[in-house]
Structure 1
Amino acid sequence: MLAGTAVAEAPRESLRPVIREDVFPVALPSLAPETSLRPLLRPRSLGQKVSVVPPVANRTAREVPSAVGKVCRDRDLQGTEVGHVPGKLQGCGIRRGAIKLYSVSGIPLSRPAVMECDTAYALKKWVEGGMKRSVKRYGGGVVELKVAAGYSCRTRNHKKGAKISEHGKGRAIDLSGFDLKNGDHISVLHDWGNGKKGRILKDMHRRACGPFGTVLGPNSDRYHKDHFHFDIAKHRGGPYCR
């Protein structure tokens, strides 16, 4: 075997494998993960209790001041003592014994309402003997009364020159609707005269006539299309209910 021939037949290129750039267009070091695979430390918050935003009913209860308690010598009426309420207009105001009512018979008001004790007594009588009997088990029952107005120093229907409203004496309350336990809502404006909710509202309205001296609803006039007006005014011919 000739030495020259052996050299000529040897491959001219190295036998070491060459990395092909057409297969790996990105440099090999870039194939490594950009972030460390080491597990991160758990945030401290994971070991702590997470605060959960309570439902509307619970949140309302939490916002009740600690001073709220029995008023009008009735544990079913929860509120604060207000006492004397001066009036900006002649005929307005509450001379003494005014309260700010937060709940009645265990059912909270959507916002506290200032009134006389006699108004609170009438509201309790209606809630227990009227409203609850009307709603029964529908939607799980009422869990909040939607208050449209309590004490307000003004004339009737805000008309200039009219008589002072019973609201201006702490003797009235307006209710626009009722929240139910299942999250549903009964609205005077939207449900009056419609289906099951409409029948419930009509029965509520009827049962309020007696506990209250004046009961007004959507059928009375255009001023009461969206709420019930209840007051304890006394009329010669008995309760006035429309």
Structure 2
Amino acid sequence: MTSGQVEARRAVAPPPRPGCGIDEPVTISAIIRPDGRKISVAASGVMRCALAKEFATWAAGDFSTILETDSRKIETIVTGSSYECRPRNRVAGAKLSEHAKGNALDIRGVKFSGGAHALVGDKASPVPEALFASACKTFATVLGPGSDSYHEDHMHIDLAPRRPGSHYCRWQMP
């Protein structure tokens, strides 16, 4: 299916497990910018449709605006974990992760046309702090380098249910 901002397809719901599952599972293959240019999404995995919509809107807007210049255009957004039935940080006995509900996505970085890249946690080609600040306005939770040892090489975004207007955002740029 294609909407004005995203190319996605319905996905098969993962087998049910205690506390885990996804309503309206989808995978994203590309984000469509307002100018019609497509940005591919590598390894997006399965996520809730609501998260896919929010991610696509942010990626087509602030995300690409912050990272692109006249000579540098995003070709691919490299993602990490999305749906995974597990506790937070894979710690036995911890509260269930938003990943277990398809309500979280990890972003590892971007590849630009011409071969350049920006990777979360890479001091040589860092993702700008403005990207984290923008994500924090959009998502309920944003974690990255400096938040804890589990998020040193990626940006975790999710739509965890919180009080209206409440966000949990932690990162520290090098």
Q: Tell me which interval the TM-score lies in, with the shorter structure as reference length.
A: 0.7 to 0.9
Equivalent residue runs for 1:41-190 within 5 Å:
69-70=1-2, 74-82=3-11, 84-88=13-17, 90-94=18-22, 96-105=23-32, 106-137=38-69, 140-190=72-122
Per-residue deviation, 1:139: 5.4
Q: How large is the RMSD of aligned CA atoms in angstroms?
A: 1.8
Q: Distance in 1 between matches of 2:130 and 2:153?
A: 16
Greater CA deviation, 215-224 or 119-128? 119-128
Match of 1:241 in 2: 169
3-state SS, counterpart of residue 241 of structure 1 = strand
Unaligned stretches of 5+ residues in structure 1: 1-68
Within the candidate set 140, 143, 152, 1:225 is matched to 152
**Does the CA contact (< 8 Å) of 1:83 and 1:98 recur in 2?**
yes
**Does the CA contact (< 8 Å) of 1:102 and 1:113 recur in 2?**
no
**Does the CA contact (< 8 Å) of 1:172 and 1:230 recur in 2?**
yes
Give the number of the structure with larger relative contact order, counting CA–CA contacts within 8 Å between residues 6 or more apart. 2
Q: Deviations over 1:173-228 (max 9, x none)?
A: 0011110112111011213xx6xx54x52111110012211000102111100000
| Runs (4+) off by over 6 Å | none
3-state SS, counterpart of residue 189 of structure 1 = coil
Q: What's the TM-score, normalizing by structure 1?
A: 0.63
Greater Rg, structure 1 or structure 2? 1
3-state SS, counterpart of residue 112 of structure 1 = coil
Change in CA separation of 1:208 and 1:138 when aligned onto 2, cut-off 3 Å: farther
| Larger helix percent | 1
Q: Distance in 1 between matches of 2:141 and 2:70?
A: 27
**Does the CA contact (< 8 Å) of 1:150 and 1:174 recur in 2?**
yes
**Does the CA contact (< 8 Å) of 1:218 and 1:224 recur in 2?**
yes
Aligned length: 164
Unaligned stretches of 5+ residues in structure 2: 33-37
